Amino acid sequence: MNAAFPTPGADESQRLLSPEELEAALRDIGARRYHNLHPFHRLLHDGKLSKDQVRAWALNRYYYQAMIPVKDAAVLARLPDASLRRIWRQRIVDHDGDHEGDGGIERWLKLAEGVGFARDYVLSTKGILSATRFSVDAYVHFVSERSLLEAIASSLTEMFSPTIISERVAGMLKNYDFITKETLAYFDKRLTQAPRDADFALDYVKRHATTPELQRAAMGALTFKCNVLWTQLDALYFSYVAPGMIPPDAWQPGEGLVQEAAPASAPGGAAKLVAGDVPRLPRGVRMRFDQARDKHVLLAPERTFDLDDNAVAVLSLVDGQRTVTQIAEQLAQTYAADARVIEADILIMLNDLAEKRVLER
Protein backbone atom coordinates (compact mmCIF):
# COMPACT_ATOMS: atom_id res chain seq x y z
CA MET A 1 0.00 0.00 0.00
CA ASN A 2 1.13 3.48 -0.80
CA ALA A 3 0.10 4.87 2.54
CA ALA A 4 1.85 8.18 2.26
CA PHE A 5 -0.31 9.33 -0.65
CA PRO A 6 -3.66 7.60 -0.36
CA THR A 7 -5.53 7.26 -3.63
CA PRO A 8 -9.29 7.54 -4.17
CA GLY A 9 -11.42 4.97 -2.41
CA ALA A 10 -12.85 3.52 -5.60
CA ASP A 11 -9.44 2.29 -6.55
CA GLU A 12 -8.82 0.37 -3.36
CA SER A 13 -9.95 -2.68 -5.29
CA GLN A 14 -7.10 -4.51 -6.86
CA ARG A 15 -8.86 -4.45 -10.22
CA LEU A 16 -6.91 -3.37 -13.29
CA LEU A 17 -8.53 -0.29 -14.80
CA SER A 18 -8.92 0.18 -18.53
CA PRO A 19 -6.84 3.08 -19.89
CA GLU A 20 -10.04 5.15 -20.15
CA GLU A 21 -10.98 4.35 -16.56
CA LEU A 22 -7.47 5.23 -15.46
CA GLU A 23 -7.68 8.58 -17.24
CA ALA A 24 -11.06 9.25 -15.61
CA ALA A 25 -9.65 8.39 -12.20
CA LEU A 26 -6.69 10.72 -12.75
CA ARG A 27 -8.97 13.54 -13.86
CA ASP A 28 -11.11 12.91 -10.80
CA ILE A 29 -8.09 13.55 -8.59
CA GLY A 30 -7.69 16.96 -10.21
CA ALA A 31 -11.39 17.73 -9.90
CA ARG A 32 -11.14 17.26 -6.16
CA ARG A 33 -7.62 18.33 -5.24
CA TYR A 34 -6.21 20.71 -7.81
CA HIS A 35 -5.23 24.08 -6.34
CA ASN A 36 -7.77 26.07 -8.34
CA LEU A 37 -10.11 24.98 -5.52
CA HIS A 38 -7.91 26.55 -2.84
CA PRO A 39 -9.40 29.59 -1.03
CA PHE A 40 -6.24 31.58 -1.83
CA HIS A 41 -6.75 31.06 -5.54
CA ARG A 42 -10.37 32.04 -5.28
CA LEU A 43 -9.31 35.30 -3.61
CA LEU A 44 -6.60 35.80 -6.23
CA HIS A 45 -8.89 35.32 -9.18
CA ASP A 46 -11.78 37.26 -7.74
CA GLY A 47 -9.62 40.30 -7.18
CA LYS A 48 -9.95 40.05 -3.41
CA LEU A 49 -6.24 40.09 -2.64
CA SER A 50 -4.30 43.21 -1.85
CA LYS A 51 -1.34 44.14 -3.99
CA ASP A 52 1.01 42.86 -1.29
CA GLN A 53 -0.78 39.52 -1.17
CA VAL A 54 -0.45 39.18 -4.93
CA ARG A 55 3.22 40.04 -4.53
CA ALA A 56 3.68 37.30 -1.92
CA TRP A 57 2.16 34.83 -4.36
CA ALA A 58 4.36 35.94 -7.27
CA LEU A 59 7.51 35.86 -5.16
CA ASN A 60 6.95 32.39 -3.71
CA ARG A 61 5.74 30.89 -6.92
CA TYR A 62 8.97 32.02 -8.57
CA TYR A 63 10.84 29.34 -6.65
CA TYR A 64 8.51 26.71 -8.03
CA GLN A 65 9.02 28.03 -11.57
CA ALA A 66 12.79 28.16 -11.13
CA MET A 67 12.98 24.53 -9.99
CA ILE A 68 10.80 23.09 -12.74
CA PRO A 69 13.72 22.64 -15.19
CA VAL A 70 15.74 20.99 -12.42
CA LYS A 71 12.89 18.58 -11.93
CA ASP A 72 12.56 17.99 -15.67
CA ALA A 73 16.28 17.42 -16.01
CA ALA A 74 15.97 14.69 -13.39
CA VAL A 75 13.26 13.04 -15.47
CA LEU A 76 15.29 13.51 -18.63
CA ALA A 77 18.31 11.82 -17.10
CA ARG A 78 16.27 8.73 -16.53
CA LEU A 79 14.54 8.43 -19.88
CA PRO A 80 16.01 5.47 -21.73
CA ASP A 81 15.59 6.48 -25.35
CA ALA A 82 16.24 9.42 -27.61
CA SER A 83 12.69 9.81 -28.91
CA LEU A 84 11.33 10.26 -25.39
CA ARG A 85 14.18 12.62 -24.42
CA ARG A 86 13.59 14.77 -27.51
CA ILE A 87 10.02 15.27 -26.38
CA TRP A 88 10.78 15.84 -22.71
CA ARG A 89 13.69 18.21 -23.29
CA GLN A 90 11.24 20.67 -24.89
CA ARG A 91 9.98 21.38 -21.37
CA ILE A 92 13.40 22.56 -20.33
CA VAL A 93 13.70 24.69 -23.45
CA ASP A 94 10.29 26.21 -22.76
CA HIS A 95 11.24 27.15 -19.25
CA ASP A 96 14.87 28.15 -19.62
CA GLY A 97 14.51 29.66 -23.08
CA ASP A 98 16.93 29.47 -25.97
CA HIS A 99 18.82 32.58 -25.04
CA GLU A 100 19.08 35.31 -22.41
CA GLY A 101 15.74 36.98 -21.78
CA ASP A 102 13.67 34.11 -23.15
CA GLY A 103 11.64 31.35 -21.53
CA GLY A 104 9.08 30.73 -18.82
CA ILE A 105 11.32 31.59 -15.88
CA GLU A 106 12.14 34.91 -17.48
CA ARG A 107 8.46 35.59 -18.05
CA TRP A 108 7.73 34.81 -14.42
CA LEU A 109 10.43 37.27 -13.42
CA LYS A 110 8.68 39.83 -15.60
CA LEU A 111 5.48 39.09 -13.70
CA ALA A 112 7.26 39.58 -10.37
CA GLU A 113 8.79 42.81 -11.63
CA GLY A 114 5.38 43.83 -12.94
CA VAL A 115 4.00 43.77 -9.40
CA GLY A 116 6.89 45.84 -8.12
CA PHE A 117 9.75 43.52 -7.16
CA ALA A 118 13.42 44.15 -7.79
CA ARG A 119 14.69 41.36 -10.04
CA ASP A 120 17.68 40.48 -7.86
CA TYR A 121 15.50 40.12 -4.80
CA VAL A 122 13.28 37.60 -6.56
CA LEU A 123 16.28 35.68 -7.95
CA SER A 124 17.81 35.41 -4.48
CA THR A 125 14.68 33.55 -3.20
CA LYS A 126 15.63 34.75 0.26
CA GLY A 127 12.14 36.07 0.96
CA ILE A 128 10.20 32.90 0.17
CA LEU A 129 8.36 30.93 2.81
CA SER A 130 10.09 27.82 4.14
CA ALA A 131 6.93 25.90 3.32
CA THR A 132 7.38 26.87 -0.33
CA ARG A 133 10.94 25.63 -0.33
CA PHE A 134 10.03 22.37 1.41
CA SER A 135 7.18 21.66 -0.97
CA VAL A 136 9.12 22.39 -4.12
CA ASP A 137 12.20 20.50 -2.95
CA ALA A 138 10.01 17.53 -2.03
CA TYR A 139 8.74 17.55 -5.59
CA VAL A 140 12.26 17.51 -7.06
CA HIS A 141 13.26 14.67 -4.74
CA PHE A 142 10.12 12.74 -5.56
CA VAL A 143 10.84 12.90 -9.26
CA SER A 144 14.46 11.86 -8.77
CA GLU A 145 13.82 9.04 -6.37
CA ARG A 146 10.52 7.43 -7.35
CA SER A 147 9.91 5.31 -10.41
CA LEU A 148 9.95 6.89 -13.84
CA LEU A 149 6.23 6.19 -14.15
CA GLU A 150 5.54 8.12 -10.92
CA ALA A 151 7.86 10.91 -12.00
CA ILE A 152 5.96 11.35 -15.23
CA ALA A 153 2.54 10.89 -13.63
CA SER A 154 3.33 13.65 -11.14
CA SER A 155 3.50 16.11 -14.02
CA LEU A 156 -0.11 15.41 -14.95
CA THR A 157 -1.43 18.44 -13.08
CA GLU A 158 -0.82 20.07 -16.45
CA MET A 159 -4.07 18.41 -17.57
CA PHE A 160 -5.91 20.80 -15.27
CA SER A 161 -3.88 23.93 -15.74
CA PRO A 162 -5.46 25.47 -18.87
CA THR A 163 -8.68 26.04 -16.91
CA ILE A 164 -6.91 27.71 -14.03
CA ILE A 165 -4.80 29.83 -16.37
CA SER A 166 -7.83 31.16 -18.25
CA GLU A 167 -9.54 31.95 -14.97
CA ARG A 168 -6.43 33.55 -13.62
CA VAL A 169 -5.67 35.74 -16.62
CA ALA A 170 -9.24 36.93 -16.98
CA GLY A 171 -9.70 37.44 -13.25
CA MET A 172 -6.43 39.22 -12.67
CA LEU A 173 -6.76 41.55 -15.62
CA LYS A 174 -10.27 42.42 -14.59
CA ASN A 175 -9.68 42.85 -10.90
CA TYR A 176 -6.23 44.32 -10.38
CA ASP A 177 -5.32 47.62 -11.92
CA PHE A 178 -1.63 46.93 -11.33
CA ILE A 179 -1.66 43.78 -13.49
CA THR A 180 -1.22 44.22 -17.22
CA LYS A 181 -1.45 41.83 -20.13
CA GLU A 182 2.35 42.05 -20.48
CA THR A 183 2.80 41.06 -16.86
CA LEU A 184 0.81 37.91 -17.50
CA ALA A 185 2.76 36.89 -20.62
CA TYR A 186 3.90 33.75 -18.80
CA PHE A 187 0.45 32.30 -18.95
CA ASP A 188 -0.06 32.98 -22.65
CA LYS A 189 2.61 30.41 -23.53
CA ARG A 190 1.52 27.93 -20.90
CA LEU A 191 -1.97 27.81 -22.40
CA THR A 192 -0.56 25.97 -25.41
CA GLN A 193 2.48 24.31 -23.83
CA ALA A 194 0.67 22.65 -20.94
CA PRO A 195 -1.86 20.63 -22.97
CA ARG A 196 0.88 19.45 -25.33
CA ASP A 197 3.02 18.29 -22.40
CA ALA A 198 0.05 16.73 -20.66
CA ASP A 199 -0.97 14.77 -23.77
CA PHE A 200 2.37 13.09 -23.95
CA ALA A 201 2.60 12.36 -20.22
CA LEU A 202 -0.96 11.04 -20.05
CA ASP A 203 -0.34 8.76 -22.99
CA TYR A 204 2.85 7.49 -21.36
CA VAL A 205 1.12 6.79 -18.06
CA LYS A 206 -1.81 5.02 -19.73
CA ARG A 207 0.56 2.78 -21.66
CA HIS A 208 2.93 2.01 -18.82
CA ALA A 209 0.61 1.67 -15.82
CA THR A 210 -0.17 -1.91 -16.68
CA THR A 211 -0.93 -3.41 -13.27
CA PRO A 212 -3.24 -2.31 -10.46
CA GLU A 213 -0.16 -1.50 -8.37
CA LEU A 214 1.37 0.67 -11.07
CA GLN A 215 -1.95 2.41 -11.64
CA ARG A 216 -2.25 3.16 -7.95
CA ALA A 217 1.32 4.42 -7.93
CA ALA A 218 0.50 6.77 -10.82
CA MET A 219 -2.58 8.06 -9.04
CA GLY A 220 -0.59 8.45 -5.85
CA ALA A 221 2.03 10.47 -7.71
CA LEU A 222 -0.57 12.84 -9.10
CA THR A 223 -2.16 13.22 -5.68
CA PHE A 224 1.26 14.01 -4.25
CA LYS A 225 1.78 16.69 -6.88
CA CYS A 226 -1.61 18.24 -6.15
CA ASN A 227 -0.55 18.42 -2.52
CA VAL A 228 2.74 20.10 -3.47
CA LEU A 229 0.71 22.89 -5.07
CA TRP A 230 -1.95 23.01 -2.37
CA THR A 231 0.57 23.22 0.48
CA GLN A 232 2.19 26.26 -1.08
CA LEU A 233 -1.13 28.08 -1.06
CA ASP A 234 -1.88 26.98 2.49
CA ALA A 235 1.37 28.62 3.53
CA LEU A 236 0.61 31.81 1.60
CA TYR A 237 -2.86 32.00 3.10
CA PHE A 238 -1.58 31.42 6.62
CA SER A 239 1.19 33.98 6.30
CA TYR A 240 -0.37 36.75 4.27
CA VAL A 241 -4.16 36.45 4.53
CA ALA A 242 -5.24 34.91 7.80
CA PRO A 243 -4.11 34.84 10.52
CA GLY A 244 -1.37 36.77 8.73
CA MET A 245 1.54 35.20 10.59
CA ILE A 246 4.58 35.96 8.49
CA PRO A 247 7.50 33.75 9.60
CA PRO A 248 10.74 35.41 10.60
CA ASP A 249 12.97 36.12 7.58
CA ALA A 250 10.14 35.70 5.07
CA TRP A 251 9.19 38.61 2.83
CA GLN A 252 7.46 41.51 4.57
CA PRO A 253 5.37 43.95 2.55
CA GLY A 254 7.65 46.75 1.44
CA GLU A 255 10.81 44.64 1.08
CA GLY A 256 12.56 43.92 -2.18
CA LEU A 257 10.56 46.44 -4.16
CA VAL A 258 11.59 48.98 -6.73
CA GLN A 259 10.55 52.64 -6.47
CA GLU A 260 8.19 52.17 -3.59
CA ALA A 261 8.17 54.31 -0.50
CA ALA A 262 9.37 52.00 2.23
CA PRO A 263 6.15 51.57 4.20
CA ALA A 264 8.00 50.61 7.37
CA SER A 265 9.28 54.18 7.73
CA ALA A 266 5.91 55.78 7.05
CA PRO A 267 4.26 57.42 10.04
CA GLY A 268 1.13 55.49 10.84
CA GLY A 269 2.41 52.73 8.61
CA ALA A 270 1.48 52.41 4.98
CA ALA A 271 1.92 48.63 5.10
CA LYS A 272 -1.23 46.61 4.70
CA LEU A 273 -3.27 45.74 7.69
CA VAL A 274 -3.12 42.01 8.40
CA ALA A 275 -5.31 39.73 10.46
CA GLY A 276 -3.25 40.07 13.63
CA ASP A 277 -3.40 43.88 13.63
CA VAL A 278 -5.62 45.89 15.95
CA PRO A 279 -7.48 48.48 13.87
CA ARG A 280 -8.83 51.68 15.37
CA LEU A 281 -10.55 54.84 14.25
CA PRO A 282 -8.17 57.74 14.93
CA ARG A 283 -9.20 61.09 16.39
CA GLY A 284 -11.19 62.98 13.80
CA VAL A 285 -12.94 59.91 12.42
CA ARG A 286 -16.18 58.79 13.97
CA MET A 287 -19.28 56.84 13.18
CA ARG A 288 -22.65 58.32 13.99
CA PHE A 289 -26.28 57.82 13.14
CA ASP A 290 -27.57 60.43 10.73
CA GLN A 291 -31.16 61.01 11.75
CA ALA A 292 -32.05 63.24 8.81
CA ARG A 293 -31.14 60.50 6.33
CA ASP A 294 -31.89 57.50 8.55
CA LYS A 295 -28.53 55.79 8.14
CA HIS A 296 -25.10 55.47 9.70
CA VAL A 297 -22.25 57.56 8.37
CA LEU A 298 -18.53 57.69 9.01
CA LEU A 299 -17.43 61.28 9.48
CA ALA A 300 -13.85 62.06 8.50
CA PRO A 301 -11.78 65.07 7.46
CA GLU A 302 -13.69 66.76 4.62
CA ARG A 303 -15.51 63.51 3.88
CA THR A 304 -18.57 61.50 4.78
CA PHE A 305 -18.77 57.79 4.05
CA ASP A 306 -22.21 56.23 3.78
CA LEU A 307 -22.16 52.92 5.61
CA ASP A 308 -24.17 49.81 4.82
CA ASP A 309 -25.23 47.36 7.52
CA ASN A 310 -22.14 45.21 7.07
CA ALA A 311 -19.79 48.15 7.44
CA VAL A 312 -21.65 49.29 10.57
CA ALA A 313 -21.35 45.78 12.05
CA VAL A 314 -17.60 45.75 11.41
CA LEU A 315 -16.88 49.30 12.54
CA SER A 316 -18.91 48.81 15.71
CA LEU A 317 -16.31 46.20 16.66
CA VAL A 318 -13.32 48.36 15.69
CA ASP A 319 -12.47 49.52 19.20
CA GLY A 320 -8.69 49.65 19.33
CA GLN A 321 -8.73 46.42 21.37
CA ARG A 322 -9.81 43.62 19.06
CA THR A 323 -7.64 42.20 16.29
CA VAL A 324 -9.08 41.73 12.83
CA THR A 325 -9.26 38.01 13.56
CA GLN A 326 -11.22 38.63 16.74
CA ILE A 327 -13.61 40.93 14.92
CA ALA A 328 -14.13 38.25 12.26
CA GLU A 329 -14.74 35.61 14.92
CA GLN A 330 -17.28 37.79 16.65
CA LEU A 331 -19.09 38.43 13.38
CA ALA A 332 -18.93 34.74 12.48
CA GLN A 333 -20.73 33.91 15.71
CA THR A 334 -23.35 36.60 15.25
CA TYR A 335 -24.09 35.70 11.65
CA ALA A 336 -23.31 31.97 11.80
CA ALA A 337 -20.82 32.28 8.96
CA ASP A 338 -17.29 31.14 8.17
CA ALA A 339 -14.81 33.31 10.09
CA ARG A 340 -12.10 32.82 7.46
CA VAL A 341 -14.31 34.19 4.71
CA ILE A 342 -15.42 37.11 6.87
CA GLU A 343 -11.84 37.85 7.80
CA ALA A 344 -10.74 38.04 4.17
CA ASP A 345 -13.69 40.29 3.36
CA ILE A 346 -13.25 42.68 6.24
CA LEU A 347 -9.50 42.95 5.63
CA ILE A 348 -10.32 44.31 2.20
CA MET A 349 -12.75 46.83 3.63
CA LEU A 350 -10.43 47.88 6.46
CA ASN A 351 -7.45 48.24 4.15
CA ASP A 352 -9.52 50.40 1.85
CA LEU A 353 -10.30 52.71 4.77
CA ALA A 354 -6.65 52.65 5.84
CA GLU A 355 -5.57 53.71 2.38
CA LYS A 356 -7.93 56.67 2.68
CA ARG A 357 -6.24 57.51 6.00
CA VAL A 358 -9.36 57.14 8.11
CA LEU A 359 -8.35 53.91 9.85
CA GLU A 360 -5.14 53.11 11.66
CA ARG A 361 -3.63 50.38 13.77
> Closer CB to other proteins, residue 104 or residue 253?
253
- Single residue of 98, 302, 308, 309 touching other proteins by CB under 8 A: 302
Alpha carbon 100 to chain centroid, angstroms: 27
Does 356 participate in binding other proteins (rule CB under 8 A)?
A: yes
Does 306 participate in binding other proteins (rule CB under 8 A)?
A: no
Question: 292-297 long-range CB contacts below 8 Å, 24 or more apart?
Answer: none
Q: Which region, judged by CB under 8 A, interacts with other proteins, from 55-63, 109-117, 231-239, 287-295?
A: 287-295
Beta strands 303-306 and 286-290, pairing class: unpaired
In degrees and rounded to multiples of 5, residue 118 shows phi and psi of -80, 135
Q: Are 150 and 216 in contact (CB under 8 A)?
A: no
Does 312 participate in binding other proteins (rule CB under 8 A)?
A: no
| Least Å from the CB of residue 236 to other proteins | 22
Does 283 participate in binding other proteins (rule CB under 8 A)?
A: yes
Sheet containing 295-300: order of strands? 286-290, 295-300, 303-306
What mask of x and - would describe binding to other proteins in positions 15 to 54, judged by CB under 8 A? ----------------------------------------
Binding residue count for other proteins, defined by CB under 8 A: 29
- Single residue of 31, 101, 199, 268 touching other proteins by CB under 8 A: 268
Q: Are 22 and 216 in contact (CB under 8 A)?
A: no
| Least Å from the CB of residue 298 to other proteins | 10
Cα–Cα separations (whole angstroms), residue 351 to 41, 130, 269, 360: 20, 27, 12, 9
Does 291 participate in binding other proteins (rule CB under 8 A)?
A: yes
Does 177 participate in binding other proteins (rule CB under 8 A)?
A: no
Alpha carbon 167 to chain centroid, angstroms: 13
